[in-house]
Amino acid sequence: MKYLTLILKNIRRNPLRTLLTAMGTMMLVCVVTLIWSVLSFLDRQTSEKSQNLKLIVTERWQLPSQMPLSYADILSKGAPREPNDLTIADRDSMTWQFFGGSTEEDPRNRSPDSILFAFALEPPKLATMMDELDELGGSVAAEFQRVVDKLAANRQGLVVGQSRLDLLKQKVGGRLTLFSLNYPGIKLDLEIVGTFPPGRYDLSAAIHRDYLSSAMDQYERETGRRHPMIDRTLNLVWLRVKDRQEMAQVAQQIESSPQFRNPQVKVETASSGIAAFLEAYRTLIWGMRWLLMPAIITVLAVIIANAISISVRERRTELAVLKVLGFRPNQLLCLVVMEALAIGVSAGLSSALATYLLINLGFGGVTFPIAFFSKFFIPWEAVVLGTIVGAGTALAGSVVPAWSARSVKVSEVFAKVA
Amino acid sequence: MLTEATLRWIGGLGAAIVCVCLLAISGAVPLRYNFRNLTVRWRTTLLTVIAFTFVIGLLTVMLSFVNGMQRLTESSGRDTNVLVISASATDEAFSSLTPEAVSGIENLPGISREGEQPLCSRETYLVVNQPIEQPRSEGPKRRFLQLRGVDNAEIAARVHEVRLHPGGSWFSAAGVQQGDADDDETVVEAVIGEGAARELGRDASNWQRDSVKALGRLDVGDTISMGGRRWRIVGVMQSAGSTMDSEIWTYRPLVAFIFGKQSYTTVVARCASSAAAGKLAQFLEKEYKVAPIKAFVETAYYAGLSGTNQQFTVAIMVVAFVMAVGGVFGIMNTMFAAISQRIKDIGVMRIIGFSRTQILTSFMLESLLIAFVGAATGCLLGSLVHGLSATSVVGSGQGGGGKTVVLKLVVDSGILSKGMILGIVMGFVGGLLPAGGAMRLKPLDAVR
Amino acid sequence: MPQANIVRVVNVHKYFRRGSERIDVLNGLSLEVAQADFLALMGPSGSGKTTLLNLIAGLDRPSEGQVIVGTDVISSMSETQLATWRTRNIGFIFQFYHLIPVLTAFENVELPLLLLPLNAAQRRQQVQTALQLVGLSDRMSHRPGQLSGGQQQRVGIARAIVTDPTLIVADEPTGDLDAKSAGEILDLLVELGTTLRKTIVMVTHDPRAAQRAHRVQHLDKGLLVDKPAMAYEHA
C-alpha cells in the first residue's frame, strides 16, 4: 500500500476535523449497535429453528395461562398414550409456576424494588432447560451447577439475579420472606443460595416448586379450604424435541388427549409464542428497523460526506498538483475514498467495541422493556456490524466528493492561482 | 419528562441564543455576509441541514408515539367512575372478585342510580388467544384479544359513556343469535372497539370483506372466530382515544361458559361527581370488608398505566441525546471549515473595526440559522406522521401485564417546541467552539 | 503646506519574544505626520516599517513609548477600544486587497459603515460617493472575482475612505499590480490628499510609488535614517 503514508498524512493534516468526524461516527454507530442488538435478539427469539426445538404448552384460550398442577406430569412426558407414542425424557421438560411476592406484608408499603417474581420449578431444569443457561460452558457452567445443586438440596432456596439481589439489598446466604401477590394467603420463607450467571437473568429469580406445593398444602391444613390457586398454578410446560417431525407428533399427542379438556391446552414453539407477544410491539419494532436505523445511517453518511467534501474542496490545488505529477484520476478517487474508509472503519470498530464492553460489562445490559424482556446485551456480531456500518457509510459518504476530486481540472485550479 | 434542572439549563441556553439574535438585529453584524457565505457553500450547508432534519424528524416521530400512548392513558376512564379490582392484582387481567364482593359494592351509597338500578357495571376482563386464520409467513400465528364480558350492556354503556356507530346495537339478553342458515350452531354477539375492528381487518382472511374495503375495519354483521366459537359483530364502539378501543365486549355469562372464567375481575361504579367518586374510592379502599379489594378513581387507574410510556421516554431520550451529540460534531465540522475558509475575511473585518463579540455573533448566527432551518424541516417532516395508527402496550411498567392498544401518533406544540429547542441547542453548542476560535483570531495573523 | 500634526510617534520601542530571545523591531523611533501629508515609508525587509504602520493604524500596541493620532493616545487603549477607534479613524489599504469574495463591490465598501449609526439610505449615499471617487460607479454590483486587480484595489481604497477616516494607511498598495494599474492607484491616493486633504501613510518597496508621496522616510533596524541603505537603493 504505497499510498498509505499519503492517506495517513491527509488524515492527520486536520486532526480536529478527523476527530470531529470520528466522534460523530462513533456516536451514531453506538446507537446503531444498540438498536441492532435489540432487534437481532428479538429476531433470534422469534426465528423458527428446525433442530432442537423448544415447545411451550399453555392454556389454549386464555392469558395468563393457568392449568392445574395435575397436568404437569403427563404434559412433561408429552402425553403418550399408545405404545408407539413419543415420550419426552425427563431432562427435556420443565414446568413453570409464576410466583410473585413482596418482602412487604402490607400492600401499601410495596414498591417495585420490594417485589420479586420467581419461576417455581424443578431445580435441575435450571441448567438443562432454561434458555441460554442450558448452553453455558466451562467454569460458568460448573459454578452455576453448584448453585442449582444447592437449590435442589434446599427446598426453601432461592436463586436470584445479581441486579435483583441488589434491589432487594440482600446477599447470597441472606434470608427473606415473600408475601405472595398472586397466591393469596401464601408466604414463603426463603434462603438465597446463589445467583444466576450475569446476563439475561439479572432481574429474575427461581424457587423450588415443591416448596410452593407444600405451602399450598399447608394452607389447606390450616384453613380447611383448598387454596384457590391450586387448580390454576401451572403456567407453562417446556418440552425439548429433536425436530419438526417430533414436534408435530408431540403436539398431536397432547392436543388430542382427552385428559386436557378443562382447560384445553395448546402446543407451540417457543419462538412462535414469543412472536405472538411481540405482535403488540409491531409498530415499535417496525419503527426501529425501518425508520430509526436507516435514518441514523443516513445522518452518519451525511456527516461523513460533509467532512470529506470539505477536505476535498480545501485541497483542490493539491489534488491538481498531484495530477500534474502524474496521478491518474482514479488514483485520486481512491485516495479520497481510502481516507474516508480509514476514518469510518476505525471509528466504527472502536465505537462498537466500546459499546460492547461498556454495555455488557459496565452497565450490565441495555434496559429496554419490551414484552417480557427487560435487558438486552450486545452480541459480538454487533462489533462486526458496527465496523461494517462505519465502512459502508464512509464509502457512501465519500463517493461524491471523491468523484469531484477525480475530476479536478488542473487548468482551472492554476488559472486561479496564477 | 424534563427535569427542572434541564429546563433551567435550556432556559440559560435560550437566553444566550436570544442574546445572539438581539445582537444580530441591533448590532452591526453583516447579516448579508453570513447569508451569502451559507449560499456560496450551499453543499456543506445543505448536508448539515439534512443531518439536522433527520435527527429532529426522528425525535418528533418517536415523541409522537409516546405522546399518543400518553394521550390514550389520559383520555381513558372517567373521573366520576370508580374501578374496583381484587387487592392482590396488579392489573385487571389478574383480578378475581367473588359475586358476594361485587354485589356488596353495588348497594353502597354514592353510586348513581337509574331508577332502581345502580349504575354499576360488573365485568370480567380477560385476554384471549386467537389463532390467526391465515397467518402471514413471517408473522405470529396467534394473537391476544382483550375480551370484556359485561352483565348488562345498557348499564355498561351508561357507566363508560360509550356509544355505538350508527347501525350497531348492543347484544341481546341471550347474547347469542342464530348462525348462518346451513349452520346449526349459534353465534356469539359481540360489540367491538374501532381499533380492534381495524386490527382484525388486517387479516388476510378479512381483506376481501366489503366492510374492510370500505371502512378499513370490520363492521356490523362480520364474524370472527375466537375460543372455538364464531362471534358476530353487532356493534362497533365509538371508542377512539381510549383503551376500550382495543377491546371486544360480550355478554359475561358467555365468557364464563366459553373460557371457564367464572369470577368477576372488575366493577366500575358511576358516581354523581368526581368528588363523590373520590370519596367512594377511599371508602372502598379503607372500609370495605367483604373482600380484599383495591379501588381507584378510573382516571387514576389509567394514569397508572403510563409506566411503559416513561420507560419508552427514557429510551427515546437516550437515543435522541446520542444522535444529537453526533449532529453537534457534524455542525462543528461545518463551522470549523467555514471559518478556516474565511480566516482572511475575519482578519479584514477585525481590522476595519468589528469587535470580537461581533465576529462571534456572526458565526453563531450562521450555525443557528443552519440548525433552525434543519430543525424546522425535521419538525415539518416529522409532523407527517401525525394521526397515523400504531400499536403498543400500555402498562404499569413492571411485572408483565399491560394492555395492547391501538393508538394515534400525536404531534403537538410541545413536541415541536422540544424538536426546535434540541435543534437550536445543537446549533448553539456546535457553533460555540468554532465561533469562539474565530473570535480569538488575531487580525494581523489572519490577513497574512 | 501641512500644519497640525495628525500622527505623533514618540520614542517607540517594539520587541517580540521568541522563546527566551527578545527581538527588537523598533528602537526608540519617533515620527510626526502632518494633516494632509502623504508619507512613504521605505526600508529593507525586517526594517520595521510594517510594524510601525500597524502601530499607527492601531492594530498593535508598542512595547514602550506613545502613539498619538489626532488627540487620541492609542498606545494606551484596550483592544476593544482600539477596534471602535479604528472604525472611525483609520482606513486601511492592503497589498492583496483582501476584499470579501462573497460580497459585491458595493457591499464590501459598505462593510465598515455597518459599524456606524447610519441608516440604509445614508450608507448607500456614502458608498456611492466613495465608489464614484475611485471611478467604479459602474462596477458596484460586481463581485471581487469579476474585477481586475487594479479595480479590486480601488474597491479597497473606497472601503478605506468610506468612513471618512482621519488617517489612511496603505501597506504596499501597488505591490500586486502591473505598472499601469499601479500608476492609477497612486494617482488616486495623491488625489485623496489634495482634494480631500486626507493624511496618508504608505509602506512601499517601490521607488516609483515612493516618488509620488510628499515625503519619504527610510527605516533601517528599527530607526529612521536619513540615507537609504545601499542594498536597498537598487531594489
* C98 contacts on B by Cβ (under 8 Å): 344, 347-348, 447
For residue A262, what is its C-alpha cell? 378443562
Residue A381 pLDDT exceeds 80: yes
**Contact across the interface for B333 and A268, Cβ inside 8 Å:** no
Interface test with C, best of B23, B33, B348 (most C CBs within 10 A): B348
Per residue in B243-301, pLDDT (tens digit) is 888 899 999 999 888 887 888 999 999 999 999 999 999 999 888 888 888 899 999 88
Are A96 and A205 a contacting pair, CB within 8 Å?
no
Q: Is A289 on the interface with B (CB under 8 A)?
A: no
Residue A149 pLDDT exceeds 50: yes
Answer with the residue of higher pLDDT: B248 or C78: B248
Answer with the residue of higher pLDDT: B215 or C1: B215
Residue at which a domain ends, from B238, B270, B303? B303
Q: Which of C83, C90, C101 sits opposite B354 (nearest CB)?
A: C83
Helix (H) or strand (E) holding A376: strand A373-376
Measure in Å the smallest separation between the Cα of B308 and chain A Cα atoms: 8
Q: Which of A17, A117, A277 sits opposite B333 (nearest CB)?
A: A17
Nearest CA in chain B to A24: B326
Dihedral pair phi/psi, residue B294, rounded to 5°: -120, 140
pLDDT at C56: 92
Q: Which of A23, A299, A310 sits opposite B44 (nearest CB)?
A: A310
Residue B213 pLDDT exceeds 70: yes
Average pLDDT of the segment spanning C176-204: 90
Pairing of strands C199-203, C38-42: parallel
- Is B292 found in the same domain as B182? yes
3-class DSSP assignment, residue C4 = coil
Nearest CA in chain B to C90: B352
pLDDT at A280: 82
pLDDT at B401: 59
- Is B148 found in the same domain as B287? yes
pLDDT at A281: 86
Average pLDDT of the segment spanning A266-286: 86
pLDDT at A191: 94
Dihedral pair phi/psi, residue B125, rounded to 5°: -105, 130
Q: Which of B33, B350, B353 sits opposite C84 (nearest CB)?
A: B353
Residue A156 pLDDT exceeds 90: yes
**Contact across the interface for A302 and B47, Cβ inside 8 Å:** yes
Q: Total structural domains in chain B? A: 2
Q: What is the CATH number of the domain that holds C162?
A: 3.40.50.300
pLDDT at C232: 46
**Contact across the interface for B392 and A284, Cβ inside 8 Å:** yes
* B273: containing domain: 78-303
**Contact across the interface for B58 and A263, Cβ inside 8 Å:** no
Residue at which a domain ends, from B264, B281, B303? B303
Percent of chain A surpassing pLDDT 90: 39
Average pLDDT of the segment spanning A375-397: 92
pLDDT at B84: 92
Instruction: Determine whether C205 is exposed, middle or buried from the number of CB atoms within 10 Å of its CB (0-12, 13-18, 19+).
Output: middle
Percent of chain B surpassing pLDDT 90: 29
The single-letter DSSP state of residue C7 is: E
pLDDT at C2: 43
3-class DSSP assignment, residue C91 = strand
Per residue in B164-173, pLDDT (tens digit) is 999 889 988 8
Are A341 and A394 a contacting pair, CB within 8 Å?
yes
Instruction: Determine whether A317 is exposed, middle or buried from the number of CB atoms within 10 Å of its CB (0-12, 13-18, 19+).
Output: middle
Average pLDDT of the segment spanning B333-354: 86
On whether residue C116 sits in a domain, the answer given is yes
On whether residue C142 sits in a domain, the answer given is yes
pLDDT at B9: 67
**Contact across the interface for B128 and A61, Cβ inside 8 Å:** yes
- Is B161 found in the same domain as B123? yes
pLDDT at A414: 60
**Contact across the interface for B144 and A63, Cβ inside 8 Å:** yes
DSSP assignment of B351-409, as one string? HHT--HHHHHHHHHHHHHHHHHHHHHHHHHHHHTTTT-EEEEEEB-SSSS--EEEEEE-
Mean pLDDT, chain A, integer: 87
Peptide bond into C117 cis (omega under 30): no
* B-C Cβ pairs (cutoff 8 Å, strict): 61
Dihedral pair phi/psi, residue C141, rounded to 5°: -100, 15
pLDDT tier at B355 (50, 70, 90 boundaries)?
Answer: confident
- Is B388 found in the same domain as B344? yes
Percent of chain C surpassing pLDDT 90: 41
Residue at which a domain ends, from B265, B280, B303? B303
Average pLDDT of the segment spanning C130-156: 91
Q: Is C98 on the interface with B (CB under 8 A)?
A: yes
- Is B408 found in the same domain as B260? no
Interface of A with B in 369-408 (CB under 8 A): 369, 371-372
Q: Total structural domains in chain C? A: 1
Measure in Å the smallest separation between the Cα of C80 and chain B Cα atoms: 7
Q: Name chain C's partners: 3 or more CB pairs within 8 A.
A: B
- Is B408 found in the same domain as B388? yes
- Is B223 found in the same domain as B136? yes
Distance CA B234, CA B236 (A): 7
> What's at B346, amino acid-wise?
I
Q: Where are the alpha helices (DSSP H) in B406-442?
A: 413-440
Per residue in A309-343, pLDDT (tens digit) is 888 888 887 787 777 777 778 888 888 899 899 99
Instruction: Determine whether B410 is exposed, middle or buried from the number of CB atoms within 10 Å of its CB (0-12, 13-18, 19+).
Output: buried
Q: Which of A144-158, A253-267, A319-333, B236-250 has the lowest mean pLDDT?
A: A319-333
- Is B358 found in the same domain as B235? no
On whether residue C16 sits in a domain, the answer given is no
Q: Is B179 on the interface with C (CB under 8 A)?
A: no
pLDDT tier at B159 (50, 70, 90 boundaries)?
Answer: very high
3-class DSSP assignment, residue C148 = coil
Q: Is B51 on the interface with A (CB under 8 A)?
A: yes
Pairing of strands C167-171, C199-203: parallel
Q: Which of A137-151, B87-101, B239-253 has the lowest mean pLDDT?
A: B87-101
Q: Where do the domains of chain A lie?
A: 4-46+281-417, 62-263
- Is B365 found in the same domain as B344? yes
Measure in Å the smallest separation between the Cα of C200 and chain B Cα atoms: 16
- Is B328 found in the same domain as B417? yes
Distance CA B49, CA B39 (A): 12
Residue B135 pLDDT exceeds 80: no
Residue A146 pLDDT exceeds 90: yes
Are A188 and A156 a contacting pair, CB within 8 Å?
yes
The residue among B267, B268, B300, B269 whose CA lies nearest residue B110 is: B269
pLDDT at A239: 93
Residue B15 pLDDT exceeds 80: no
Residue B137 pLDDT exceeds 70: no
Measure in Å the smallest separation between the Cα of A307 and chain B Cα atoms: 6
pLDDT tier at C99 (50, 70, 90 boundaries)?
Answer: confident
Average pLDDT of the segment spanning A260-283: 85
pLDDT tier at A155 (50, 70, 90 boundaries)?
Answer: very high
Q: Which of B29, B344, B353 sits opposite C86 (nearest CB)?
A: B353
* C220: containing domain: 37-47+78-226
Interface of B with C in 415-444 (CB under 8 A): 443-444
Residue B26 pLDDT exceeds 70: no
Average pLDDT of the segment spanning A202-229: 90
Q: Name chain B's partners: 3 or more CB pairs within 8 A.
A: A, C
Peptide bond into A64 cis (omega under 30): yes
User: Mind spelling out the 3-state secondary structure of A28-96?
Assistant: HHHHHHHHHHHHHHHHHHHCCCCEEEEEEEEECCEECCCECCCHHHHHHHCCCCCCCCCCCCHHHEEEE
Nearest CA in chain C to B27: C115
On whether residue C178 sits in a domain, the answer given is yes
